[in-house]
């Protein structure tokens, strides 16, 4: 590496690859074998303790181990740090390169202020959409058939991957030519299985359209970037009115006695119901679940919150943000696996991805004014090609998501990743759906 640094490189990709390699080498070299071993051992212990505590609904069983996880994660972050950023910003950098805790705080403050008041107005509206189209009895094989047809239509290349069933939906990429996705289905409700397939397809389409060099420069830029791709397809396409004009005939063909209109289905899949569980939350309330977790983990890392007090703060904030009473730790602070896996700094990327997806939709619509008409006709190739041009093909060639958005979109707002697009999208959509004045 030192020799390569001394030699002039004219190739931008070569320079960037050297930067990435040097950064990874230096950060890994700063972690002692003892500390690395301690973290690996603790991860194994923590997962078992988390499962036990969640099963028995007893946070106190997990708290001592979780405290050790936070403390060890701080030690690792301090070891990796070059001293130019806070400990939590260093943790964030593992998942969202170039994004500081201060920046995320500002972004999330703006989103929270807008959404809390909007959610109150939505829930008080005289008009409440029916969820009837979602419930009934739906053959699992019919659901799989609809799902396979839709994910292939939007751009998942089944020649370079496959679709399977699992306990929890996920995407696994071995290379751009071998990307696998899964979902789960139940007979009493059809939408969650389909939504998961579309979401995972967004991740998979990103992976399938990275360059196939197997070098770090040709991997995904960040977790927020990755989440923006899954949420673009799941929400900005899959939750749109135009999409259900396209997809409703597919459901009617496969499901018995399914006579709902595209508008009725659109309203049902977008209905707002504050919930306890993050992964079951609707589009409008989901951001507040992420903000809650971000606030708690950042306060623990910064020494402003004791691990033993997490349940109390969690329950208080769920009531404040969503007016939801938390009946148990299992349905509260023990519901996610992330902290037991040392994924401190991961939660914010879900909302960074959501905000980025809204920004991408805005610019995609500018380029394609007939965006909705094309979706109604099942024409998705142009969206996939646009996303590949703006996002996928660049891999890690940019130092941050901000830098990529500025260069590829010509974004002039400051900050470049701007919550304005996300707030405007949600406000306009749910004002219309709930007939707010």
CB 47 within 8 A of CB 337: yes
- Active-site residue flag, 200: yes
Query: CA 103, CA 96: separation in Å to the nearest integer?
Result: 12
Among 96, 200, 234, 254, the one annotated catalytic: 200
Residue holding tokens 């130019």?
A: 84
β-bridge pairing 178-183 and 171-175: antiparallel
Query: CA 289, CA 275: separation in Å to the nearest integer?
Result: 9
Closest CA to 401 of 215, 262, 245, 224: 224
Token pair belonging to 133? 């189209």
Q: Exposed, middle or buried, 22 (CB in 10 Å: 0-12/13-18/19+)? A: middle
276 Cβ contact partners less than 8 Å away, ≥ 6 residues apart:
318, 324, 326, 327, 331, 332, 335
DSSP 57: T
What distance separates the 2 farthest-apart alpha carbons in the chain? 71
Query: CA 178, CA 14: separation in Å to the nearest integer?
Result: 26
Paired residues of 182 in beta bridges:
164
> Angle, to 10 degrees, between the axis of helix 286-301 and the axis of helix 310-322?
150
Query: CA 80, CA 26: separation in Å to the nearest integer?
Result: 8
State whether residue 71 is helix, strand or coil.
helix
> Angle, to 10 degrees, between the axis of helix 223-231 and the axis of helix 401-409?
50
DSSP per residue over 366-410, as a string?
Answer: HH-TTHHHHHHTT--HHHHHHHHHHTGGGTT-SSSHHHHHHHHH-
Query: CA 199, CA 202: separation in Å to the nearest integer?
Result: 5
Query: CA 59, CA 106: separation in Å to the nearest integer?
Result: 31
Instruction: Kindly list the catalytic residues.
Output: 200
């Amino acid at each position: 590496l030192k020799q390569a640094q001394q030699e002039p490189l004219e190739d931008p990709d070569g320079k960037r690859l050297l930067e990435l390699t040097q950064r990874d080498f230096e950060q890994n070299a700063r972690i002692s074998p003892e500390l690395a071993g301690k973290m690996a051992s603790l991860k194994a212990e923590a997962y078992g303790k988390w499962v036990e505590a969640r099963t028995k609904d007893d946070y106190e069983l997990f708290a001592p181990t979780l405290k050790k996880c936070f403390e060890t994660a701080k030690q690792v972050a301090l070891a990796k740090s070059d001293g130019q950023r806070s400990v939590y910003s260093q943790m964030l950098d593992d998942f969202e390169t170039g994004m500081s805790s201060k920046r995320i705080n500002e972004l999330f403050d703006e989103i929270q202020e807008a959404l809390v008041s909007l959610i109150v107005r939505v829930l008080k509206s005289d008009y409440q959409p029916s969820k009837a189209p979602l419930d009934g009895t739906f053959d699992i094989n019919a659901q799989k058939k609809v799902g396979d047809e839709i994910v292939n239509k939007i751009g998942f290349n089944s020649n370079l991957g496959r679709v399977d069933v699992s306990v929890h939906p996920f995407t696994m990429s071995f290379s751009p030519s071998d990307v696998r996705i899964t979902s789960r289905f139940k007979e009493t409700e059809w939408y969650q299985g389909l939504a998961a397939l579309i979401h995972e397809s967004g991740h998979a389409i990103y992976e399938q359209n990275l360059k196939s060099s197997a070098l770090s420069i040709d991997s995904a830029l960040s977790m927020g970037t990755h989440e923006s791709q899954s949420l673009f397809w799941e929400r900005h396409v899959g939750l749109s009115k135009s999409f259900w004009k396209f997809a409703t005939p597919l459901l009617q063909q496969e499901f018995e006695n399914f006579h709902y209109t595209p508008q009725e289905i659109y309203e049902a899949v977008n209905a707002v119901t504050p919930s306890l569980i993050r992964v079951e939350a609707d589009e409008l309330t989901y951001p507040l679940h992420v903000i809650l977790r971000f606030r708690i983990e950042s306060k623990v890392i910064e020494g402003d919150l004791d691990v033993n007090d997490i349940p109390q703060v969690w329950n208080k904030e769920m009531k404040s943000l969503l007016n939801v009473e938390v009946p148990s730790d299992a349905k509260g602070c023990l519901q996610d696996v992330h902290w037991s896996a040392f994924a401190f700094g991961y939660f914010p990327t879900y909302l960074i991805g959501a905000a980025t997806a809204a920004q991408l939709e805005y610019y995609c619509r500018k380029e394609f004014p007939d965006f909705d008409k094309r979706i109604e006709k099942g024409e998705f190739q142009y969206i996939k090609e646009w996303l590949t041009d703006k996002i996928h093909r660049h891999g890690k060639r940019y130092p941050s998501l901000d830098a990529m958005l500025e260069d590829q979109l010509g974004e002039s707002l400051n900050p470049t990743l701007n919550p304005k697009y996300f707030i405007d999208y949600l406000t306009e959509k749910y004002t219309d759906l709930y007939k707010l004045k």
